[in-house]
Chain A
Amino acid sequence: METTCGSLLSELQKIWDEVGEVDKERDKMLFELEQECLDAYRRKVDQANRCRAQLRQAVADAEAQLADICSALGERPSHIKKSSGSLKKELQEIMPRLEDMKRKRNERKGQFAEVLKQINSISTELAGSTKENLNTILIDENDLSMKRLDDLRSQLLMLQEEKGERLKQVLDQLNVLKALCLVLGMDFKLTVCGVHPSLDDSCCAKSISVDTIESLSATIFRLKDVKLQRMRRLQDLAMTMVELWNLMDAPVEEQQMFQNVTCTIAAAESEITEPNCLSLEFINNAETEVIRLQEMKMSKIKEVFLKKRLVLEEICREAHMVVEGQFGTDFSLESIESGAISTSFLLEQLENQISKVKEEAFSRKEILEKVQKWLAAREEECWLEEYNRVGHNDDNRYNAGRGTHLLLKRAEKARVIVNKIPAMVEALKSKAKAWEKERKVEFLYDGVGLVSMVDQYFELKHLKEQERQRQRDRKKLQGQLLAEQEAIYGSKPSPSKSGNKNLRPSTGGVGNKRFSLGGAMLQNTLADKAALSSRSLLKNNPVKRQSSHNHSNKAFMPHSSGKKNTSAGPVKHHSSNASNSQHAELLPLRKALSPLSSLSSNIISCNFQDQNTKSGDFQDTHVVCKTPATTPTKNVSTHDENRTPKTMPIPVPATPPTVSAAMQTTTTPFTPAIRVAGGVEYSFEEKRAGFVLPRSHSKTLQLV
């Protein structure tokens, strides 16, 4: 360089010398040269300087980045700055390290993202769909340290654990719910879907949000409540059922059917797990059974009640006490049914009443026996009277017939009894009076005071005595009259029967007025016996038999109606019956078949005509015209029929000739001559088919 510059300068010197350049010019030129060289140097130095600054910057940047990343990753910057060589070397050294770190950071970021994603998804699940995206965690670029990652990871783990727990909880609840539904007979799927549709068995991802769990537990609570209620209801029913069973000795088979109901009686809520055992249907079944049992119980109680009442009435009747009025309370069935009085109270009352009545009946027993004896005696008295009365008029009394001696014996006995009556009655009266005094109540015999009865009897007897006396007087008078007549005319008319009849009703009728059922029965049998025994003897004495019949009729009256009855009553009744039946007989039985009047009317009762025929001529009845309801037109038409069917009317007059012609050929079977004359009949089908009978056929027909 030096050489070239020096040589170039010397060359320039030479040139200048040759040219003869002035020195001044030469100096100027040389100065310029020097200036230019300096500029060139300066430019190069500046360039180099700038390059160095850039390098330094790059290294610094890389180092800063490296440091950043290291700090973000939480690592100590491994690189300690040591000035090892030139800047370029330094840069070369640092760049791969930076690249490495960057890769590392990205990896870390991925890990974070993964974990965060899981955390987010789980927390979303836990929060439930409603609170989605609420607390999404974002990646913090500045903190990617392992510690943070570990934190997040542990958070994730926690969340996962929580999720598992929740799931377990939900499953547990679902199981509980399932059991409840089973017991209550409800549709599990429906219930669960009501809470959250994802809880259905078919769905795998179950909702585990707090809301779901809460509503699940609410449902469970509600169902448990229902279960409890139903259980109590069922237990009540079961209890009632068992009670009723015990009460009514229900058959085992019947009990077996509801064994599953009664086995719940003592069960705790948790013990009832059998499917459907608390379903509405099951409970309703039990309920209907209980209702049925209760109805049965009611009917049985009624039965018992009626039985008791019958017993009471029986006792009263036997003791000749009036049933009505004995009771303080209303013992009618209606009161039971209406529920106004409790049945047990009523039964108790009734029981009391029965014992009371029994006691009273016992106290009355002695007197009643006496009454019975008295009544029997009266019966005999009546019979004797009758016997005597008839005997007076019956000349055959002493005829030796069968049974006569029996009658005589009976009469003898009766007389003895009748003689005893006054003493008997006196004793009775005093007894009754004593009873009344003791009890301070009137002694009622079938509702009538016994004392008054006795008094009445005496009165009656007295009257009868008087009557008898009068009769005797009359007879005596009559006898005198007869004697006189005999003296005059020499003949003796048959003894008059007048007056005797008048006696009859007063003997039995009035005396029997108060006979009770027992008395009546007795009387009745006596009467019957009397009638029977006297029948042979009194065969030819219709009056006597009639009277005895009347007697028994009357005796029956109190039995049939329980009330005093007029003697005309039953007779009247009978007669009305008779007239009724007579009426029925007289009424013509409606002819089953009414005559046909017209078919077009809407009468459903048909137009059959009852024709009791022997041979096949139903039409004869038209001529006879049995039924008056036949319309005149009818008669006309039948009249026509009987002659010739020519005029038989046909609905459409437009084309009558064809049909009427057909009818013309129709002949009656009884006049074969007409057939020969009138030709052959043809059916509609034959005419339509154009069928004509060959002549030979019609001839053979006549032969047939």
Chain B
Amino acid sequence: MTAPPPPPSTGRELSSPPTDGISNLRFSNHSDHLLVSSWDKSVRLYDASANALRGEFMHGGPVLDCCFHDDSSGFSACADHTVRRLVFNYNREDVLGRHDAPVRCVEYSYGTGQVITGSWDKTLKCWDPRGASGQERSLVGTYSQPERVYSLSLVGNRLVVATAGRHVNVYDLRNMSQPEQRRESSLKYQTRCVRCYPNGTGYALSSVEGRVAMEFFDLSEAGQSKKYAFKCHRKSEAGRDIVYPVNAIAFHPIYGTFATGGCDGYVNVWDGNNKKRLYQYTKYPTSIAALSFSRDGRLLAVASSYTYEEGDKDHEPDAIFVRSVNEVEVKPKPKALPNPAT
């Protein structure tokens, strides 16, 4: 370990972190490998358990998102409008295709074998990564969105697209011709992040105004009665509430509880069913840009990286912390009273 020993509460800091803001990080579904995209135009692959950098790809522009394909390859969404496929073993990258504007987010659907990218060109594109290099063969479809795409999340065949202007479109991947549901964010302010529940019944959506909405796909009255929103990542100071953007949501793969990370540098763990906060980790040096639980939920990767919420200014160095997750921090604590939200 080359990094200076961090306080035990924040977890182990990965050595050789990106040199600029971290846009996203994700654990592999097969190992403890961690894929990290960054504004320093790089995509890095770490072995989180060994604390070792396993690979690095340099792109033509800041990388705004990345995701795994399988354990040996992944995809990146780059501000140079390009969607790339990265093969880690051979350090090879193929261009899957291009958008008309920076690509904001990328997801890979194991169910359909497609890559889905969302861009600020107000479109969603699906790609077939098996298609040989060349847009005409890999592009499956382009679906226009009401606004610039800010966040994507997948569960099963459901795709939730959050865009600017607080639009939320819910798609069925098997029929992308039009959204299954067109919604408006329940929150009044700009959407920062959307993540589907692991059980596939709904999604959590966070805004720049320290608030998270818990939504459900079920449109029946009973289904919709369960939805709610809550405030978080705020601070009362001198009689005023300071509100921080909620940049990241990550669901625990086993318990279905979730962690939120905000510009206040805190990571909170919540039990959505019981409407309880389970845990608050000690403050990280700067904003939490991204969060990811490992496949078994034993590790939580925390990107502590200034997200430019206050423009260009001096800030703490960008760092990735990998902390082991104690069961009590993420295990739901059923409350005594019967719960309408379950």
User: Which A residues lie at the B interface, using CB under 8 A?
Assistant: 589-590, 592-593, 596-600, 604-614, 616-619, 631, 633-634, 636-637, 641, 645, 648-652, 654-656, 658-659, 662-663, 666-669, 675, 680-689, 691, 693, 697, 701, 704
**Nearest-Cβ distance from residue A409 to partner chain B, whole angstroms:** 56
- A645–B243 Cα gap in the complex (Å)? 11
B335 touches A685 (CB 8 A): no
Number of interface residues of B (CB under 8 A): 70
A-B contact pairs, 11 of them (CB 8 A): A592-B341, A599-B236, A605-B277, A616-B183, A616-B186, A618-B211, A618-B228, A641-B188, A666-B189, A683-B192, A684-B245
Known contacts A611-B228, A683-B190, A687-B308: does B185 contact A589 (CB below 8 Å)? no
User: Is there an interface contact between A607 and B228, defined as CB atoms closer than 8 Å?
Assistant: no
- Contact call B228/A612, Cβ cutoff below 8 A: yes
The answer, yes or no, to whether B293 is at the interface (CB within 8 Å) is: no
How distant is the Cα of A589 from the Cα of B62 in the complex, in angstroms? Answer: 52
User: Is B276's CB under 8 angstroms from A605's CB?
Assistant: yes
Residue of A at shortest CB range from B278? A604
Q: Which residue of A lies closest to B215 (CB)?
A: A616
Known contacts A610-B228, A658-B311: A651-B242 contact under CB 8 Å = yes
Interface residues of B, dominant DSSP: loop
Q: Is B233 an interface residue (CB 8 A)?
A: yes
**Known contacts A633-B236, A652-B310, A689-B79; is-contact A666 B224 (Cβ 8 Å):** no
Instruction: Contact check, A633 vs B241: say whether CB atoms are below 8 A apart.
Output: yes
Q: Which residues of A contact B227 (CB under 8 A)?
A: 613
Known: A611-B229, A685-B64. 10 other contacts (CB 8 A): A590-B337, A598-B234, A599-B236, A609-B230, A616-B185, A618-B187, A637-B241, A649-B240, A651-B235, A658-B311
User: Which one, B27-35, B126-134, B144-152, is touching chain A?
Assistant: B144-152
Q: Decide if B230 touches A593 in the complex (CB within 8 Å).
A: yes
- B186 and A599 contact, CB distance less than 8 A: no
Contact of B189 among A597, A609, A645 (CB under 8 A): A645
**Inside 8 A of A687's CB, which chain B residues have their CB?**
308, 311
**Secondary structure class of chain A's binding surface, majority of residues:** loop
B228 & A684 in contact (Cβ 8 Å cutoff): no
Which residue of chain A lies nearest to B189 when distances are taken between CB atoms in the complex?
A666
Minimal Cβ-Cβ distance residue in A for B229: A618
Contacts of A600 in B (CB 8 A): 235-236
Candidates A648, A683, A697; contact of B122 at CB < 8 Å: A697
Option from B148, B150, B309 in Cβ contact (under 8 Å) with A659: B309
Please tell me if the beta carbons of B102 and A599 are within 8 angstroms of each other in the complex. Answer: no
Closest residue on chain A to residue B226 by CB atoms = A612
Asked if residues A593 and B275 are in contact (CB atoms below 8 Å), the reply is yes
Given contacts A592-B337, A616-B185, A681-B190, contact A607 B231 (CB under 8 A): yes
Q: Report yes or no: B148 in contact with A693, Cβ–Cβ below 8 A.
A: yes
Q: Would A593 and B228 count as touching, CB distance under 8 A?
A: yes
- A636 vs chain B, min Cβ distance (A): 8
B232 within 8 A of A: yes
CA distance A279 to B190 in the complex (A): 75
Question: Within 8 Å of chain A (Cβ to Cβ): is B53?
Answer: no
- Contact mask for chain B residues 327-342; partner A; CB cutoff 8 A; 1 contact, 0 none: 0000000010101110
A596 lies within 8 A of B165 (CB): no
CB within 8 Å: A-B pair count: 174
B46 within 8 A of A: no
B224 in contact with A614 (CB, 8 Å): yes
C-alpha spacing A680/B183, complex, angstroms: 20
Could you tell me if A658 and B275 are in contact, using CB atoms closer than 8 angstroms? no
Which residues of chain B are near A691, meaning CB under 8 Å?
A: 101-102, 120
Is B239's beta carbon under 8 Å from chain A?
yes
In the complex, B176 has a CB within 8 A of chain A: no
Asked if A607 contacts B122 (CB within 8 A), the reply is no
Contacts known (A605-B276, A658-B310); A650 close to B242, Cβ less than 8 A = yes
Q: Return the contact of A650 from the options B104, B183, B190, B310 (Cβ within 8 A).
A: B310
Are A599 and B337 neighbours in the complex by a CB distance under 8 Å?
A: no
- Rounded to whole angstroms, the CA-CA distance of A614 and B234 in the bound complex is 26
The one of A613, A650, A701 in contact with B147, judged by C-beta atoms closer than 8 angstroms, is A701
Give the residue of A599, A636, A654 whose beta carbon is less than 8 angstroms from that of B234.
A599
Report the Cα distance A641→B232, complex, angstroms.
Answer: 16
Residues of A within 8 A of B186 (CB): 613, 616-618
Shortest 7 CB-CB contacts between residues of A and residues of B: A606-B277, A658-B311, A616-B186, A608-B230, A598-B236, A608-B275, A688-B308
Residue of A589, A614, A655, A680 touching B311 (CB-CB under 8 A): A655
Residues of chain B from 212 to 253 with CB closer than 8 A to chain A in the complex? 213, 224-225, 227-237, 239-245
- Do the beta carbons of B230 and A655 come within 8 Å of each other? no
Contact of B213 among A618, A631, A659, A685 (CB under 8 A): A618
Point out the residues of chain A lying under 8 angstroms from B165, CB to CB. 667, 669, 675, 681, 701
Q: With A593-B275, A637-B241, A645-B209 given, is the CB distance from A606 to B270 under 8 Å?
A: yes
Indicate if the CB atoms of A688 and B148 lie closer than 8 Å.
no
Tell me the minimal C-beta distance from A691 to chain B in angstroms. 6
Chain A residues with CB below 8 A from B243, complex form: 637, 648-649
Q: Is B107 an interface residue (CB 8 A)?
A: no
